[in-house]
Structure 1
Amino acid sequence: MKIIKNPIALLVLLLLSTALCFAQDVSKVNEPQTLNELQESIQKILIETNTPGAGIALVSEDETILLRGFGKADIENDIDVNENTMFRLGSISKLFVGLAILKLQEEGKLNLKDKVSDIIPDIEIINPWEDQYPIRIENLLEYNSGLSDWSMAELASNDPKPKTLKESLEFYPKGRVAKFAPGTRLQYSNLGVSIAAYIVETVSGMRYEDYIGKYFFKPMGIEDMTYFNSEQFKKTAAKGYDNGVPLNIDYFHVLYRPSAALNGSPKDLVNLIRFFIDHGRINNTQIISDSSMLRMERNESFDKSISEMFKGYGLTNYVTYYKNFDYRGHGGHVPGYCSDFRYLPEHNMGYAIMINGEDQGVIDDLSLLIKAYQTKDLPQEPIKPRK
């Protein structure tokens, strides 16, 4: 039995949690023509890669094309994955930070162009370029604030009693120093996104997790999704594995919960897909305006000299390119789990994948399969993005 004794060695995997904006190699994918062929191919990949299980959700227009589990949530106890099995979703969490900021902007309570130092002066951020290049909210969400990603100390922090968000941000002051002028480079930063989540707390007067629950989970009809080790998660969670071997570690309380701590099931993710492909609307409720959803899909904070280079990046939302199709969304990775959430806004379809294994290559292969299946009957010529 494999036991991970060094949390730093384990959690360093979070540094590789998301491969941003990239083109996928379509040459190696066999394009499934039927839903049965797709499911057979998914099962084959899991077996060949020694991945215990997966939860898959595919949505097109108003129809759920596929919602099911594959393989095992718990090999030792012979428990199958099903649509209600919960997985740790990692950086998919970040999508909600972007959405929350956009909602508060719609309500006139903040603006993406606001200086971070003006809104949360209680969190000191050292930015040597502040006079000419201040850190604005949009910099935090478009990964160009100048702030670094996790340090080893932040990765290894695991307080049995989860810290408040402010306590988490105060944990490692050395991280709150800009390494380059905001807007001039790309630097993935879990810290930066969680600072944006603290802005949500400050402006709304609510704990971040409570705000997301009230204004997003509830109207979306998402019942079980959580940032914590809830009773539902304890009952239904898939066990984390590495190459088929259980990690056998206690629940890890991610320091920056808004950036990486979300837990959810394939059933939960169906509603989130619907929300995105219906441009901020679900269950006859417009939670976020279409114009805000469009803003989420583009960047406005990169320096003009490089903005075209990073046009695939939005607010905690980025592109993966498949043939002539631009899928948007976010991926995630925490020890024992990988995930991918993507939607195709011009064609009103999307998918979510979650596995209880460490291999990002499995997620890549599964996403290629699903994209091939979803786009097989679509016109292959490029179409103009929504505006």
Structure 2
Amino acid sequence: MKNISVSLLLWIFALSSFTIKAQSIEKAVDSLISRDFNDKNAPGGVFMIAHHGKPVYQKAFGKANLELGSDMSVDNVFELGSMTKQFTAVAILMLEQQDKLKVGDRISKYIPDYPNGDKITIHHLLTHTSGIKDFTKMKSLSDIAQKEMTPKMMVDFFKNEPVDFAPGEKFDYNNSGYVLLGYLIELVSGEKYEDYISTHIFDKAGMSQSSYASDRKVIKNRAYGYHKKESGYVNKTVISFSVPFSSGSLMSTLSDMLKWQNALNQNILLDSIETKKAFSKYTLNNGDYFTYGYGWHLRDIDKVPTREHGGSIFGFKTMAVYIPSEDIYVVGFSNCDCNSPTQAVKDIAELTSKKSKQ
């Protein structure tokens, strides 16, 4: 009984100590966020800090819906934009784990008529080193932006464009590569991309508030997206989510993104070998390293390694930073593409990292 009591007291002390730390940074975090999210009657955002897999700070700012005057909530659902790429990359690695493909495979193995497909590998697509044309930079994009496109139609839209460089020659962030990856997921798994992500990732990780985006479906707790014009705020431009597809069409919440991070840490989705591949730095043809793994930028804050990625899609901007050495996860979502959470999230991560060491 004595040993149990001592253990209990130590646990309570550790918990209360961490709570004090969390409380001590609340005002500083609020201050960092209020630099850009300071109008309670404008579109706003939500922010979360998690430590050791548990949220220690969650707050909402501004309005989730201007027409209804609805206040933002930490439970609101946001479009993720390019943070979708994390899920696409992990889905590819899950298929490799099942021996259904290899990241070293050339894409001609799956799409025989793809130009230069015998030289472009899945690895090139994952790391933005393929050299294929980014469809978001094509002038003709407006012609299909609101059309319902199949994955094959999307691939056909950009596949015959001149390449920007030879595979592996340089790193150049590329949405087309991740659309191709989504198409490969469908070809290899025999499932639609959105179904594969829902069944094999969202369900396994317990992400019940996450889904493939839709402007038609009724989505509980949806935050509505806005643009800012000279005349004021306007509703976001409507697009077909079949266009960004596996490069940017998922939706989620703060709490679900924490479940995602925890699932990665606990090897619920990937074994340790495949996880290491996602978070490794790779080299170009000339041997130079670049700071992108599979679906994440691999950077650092004050020489402390981080895994991070942002997203931007009409009406929304998102950002998340994870510090593996301290198990700190910071996420920020905005429902106006006029207001990015990126700098706030990075500053919060740096502040939290420093406080955790004190």
Alignment TM class, shorter chain as reference: 0.7 to 0.9
**Alignment of structure 1 residues 44-63 onto 2, 5 Å:** 44-47=35-38, 52-63=43-54
Identify which of 328, 336, 339 aligns with 2:315: 336
Identify which of 126, 149, 152 aligns with 1:141: 126
Answer whether contact 2:79 2:252 (CA < 8 A) is retained. yes
| 3-state DSSP of counterpart to 1:368 | helix
Answer whether contact 1:142 1:299 (CA < 8 A) is retained. no
**What does residue 3 of structure 1 align with?**
none
Answer whether contact 1:51 1:356 (CA < 8 A) is retained. no
1:258 maps onto 2:257 in alignment: no
User: What is the CA RMSD across the aligned residues, in angstroms?
Assistant: 2.6
**What does residue 3 of structure 2 align with?**
none
Identify which of 346, 349, 356 aligns with 1:371: 349
Q: CA deviation at 1:279?
A: 4.8
Code of the residue aligned with 1:171 in structure 2: it is F
**Alignment of structure 1 residues 218-367 onto 2, 5 Å:** 218-229=203-214, 231-233=217-219, 236-242=222-228, 245-249=232-236, 251-254=238-241, 255-276=243-264, 278-280=265-267, 286-300=268-282, 302-306=284-288, 308=289, 310=290, 312-359=291-338, 362-367=340-345
| 3-state DSSP of counterpart to 1:135 | coil
Code of the residue aligned with 2:53 in structure 1: it is D
Identify which of 137, 151, 154 aligns with 1:165: 151
Once residues 338 and 50 of structure 1 are traced to their aligned partners in structure 2, the CA distance between those partners, rounded to angstroms, is: 18
Once residues 310 and 320 of structure 2 are traced to their aligned partners in structure 1, the CA distance between those partners, rounded to angstroms, is: 6
TM-score, length-scaled by structure 1: 0.78
**What does residue 283 of structure 1 align with?**
none
Once residues 376 and 48 of structure 1 are traced to their aligned partners in structure 2, the CA distance between those partners, rounded to angstroms, is: 29
**Pair 1:357–1:146, CA change in 2 (3 A):** same
Answer whether contact 2:209 2:256 (CA < 8 A) is retained. yes
**What does residue 104 of structure 1 align with?**
95
**What does residue 77 of structure 2 align with?**
86
**Pair 1:378–1:236, CA change in 2 (3 A):** closer
**Pair 1:347–1:156, CA change in 2 (3 A):** farther
Q: CA deviation at 1:243?
A: 6.5
Once residues 74 and 349 of structure 2 are traced to their aligned partners in structure 1, the CA distance between those partners, rounded to angstroms, is: 20
| 3-state DSSP of counterpart to 1:236 | coil
Once residues 213 and 159 of structure 2 are traced to their aligned partners in structure 1, the CA distance between those partners, rounded to angstroms, is: 25
Runs (5+) with no aligned partner, structure 2: 1-22
**Pair 1:243–1:68, CA change in 2 (3 A):** farther
Identify which of 43, 55, 63 aligns with 1:64: 55
| 3-state DSSP of counterpart to 2:212 | coil
Answer whether contact 1:89 1:337 (CA < 8 A) is retained. yes
Once residues 67 and 275 of structure 1 are traced to their aligned partners in structure 2, the CA distance between those partners, rounded to angstroms, is: 20
Identical columns (%): 23
1:217 maps onto 2:202 in alignment: yes
**Pair 1:62–1:263, CA change in 2 (3 A):** closer
Deviates most, 249-258 or 108-117:
249-258
Once residues 190 and 156 of structure 1 are traced to their aligned partners in structure 2, the CA distance between those partners, rounded to angstroms, is: 17
| 3-state DSSP of counterpart to 1:145 | coil
Answer whether contact 1:120 1:202 (CA < 8 A) is retained. no
Runs (5+) with no aligned partner, structure 1: 1-31, 281-285, 381-387
String of CA shifts for 1:81-108, please: whole Å, max 9, x gaps.
1122122211000111110111111111
Code of the residue aligned with 1:94 in structure 2: it is K
String of CA shifts for 1:309-346, please: whole Å, max 9, x gaps.
x1x21012112432122221311011221110221122
| 3-state DSSP of counterpart to 2:104 | coil
Once residues 34 and 372 of structure 1 are traced to their aligned partners in structure 2, the CA distance between those partners, rounded to angstroms, is: 12
Code of the residue aligned with 1:195 in structure 2: it is L
Identify which of 164, 168, 173 aligns with 1:188: 173
Code of the residue aligned with 2:192 in structure 1: it is R
Q: CA deviation at 1:34?
A: 1.8
Answer whether contact 1:154 1:172 (CA < 8 A) is retained. no
Answer whether contact 1:146 1:181 (CA < 8 A) is retained. yes
Q: CA deviation at 1:156?
A: 5.1
**Pair 1:40–1:187, CA change in 2 (3 A):** closer
Answer whether contact 2:129 2:170 (CA < 8 A) is retained. yes
1:179 maps onto 2:161 in alignment: no
Answer whether contact 2:46 2:60 (CA < 8 A) is retained. yes
Pick the structure with greater CA Rg.
2
**What does residue 18 of structure 2 align with?**
none
Q: CA deviation at 1:232?
A: 4.0
Answer whether contact 2:64 2:335 (CA < 8 A) is retained. yes
**Pair 1:369–1:180, CA change in 2 (3 A):** closer
Would you say how many aligned residue pairs link Structure 1 and Structure 2?
A: 331
Q: CA deviation at 1:118?
A: 1.1
TM-score, length-scaled by structure 2: 0.84
- Which structure ranks higher in relative contact order (CA pairs < 8 Å, sequence separation ≥ 6)? 1
| 3-state DSSP of counterpart to 1:313 | coil
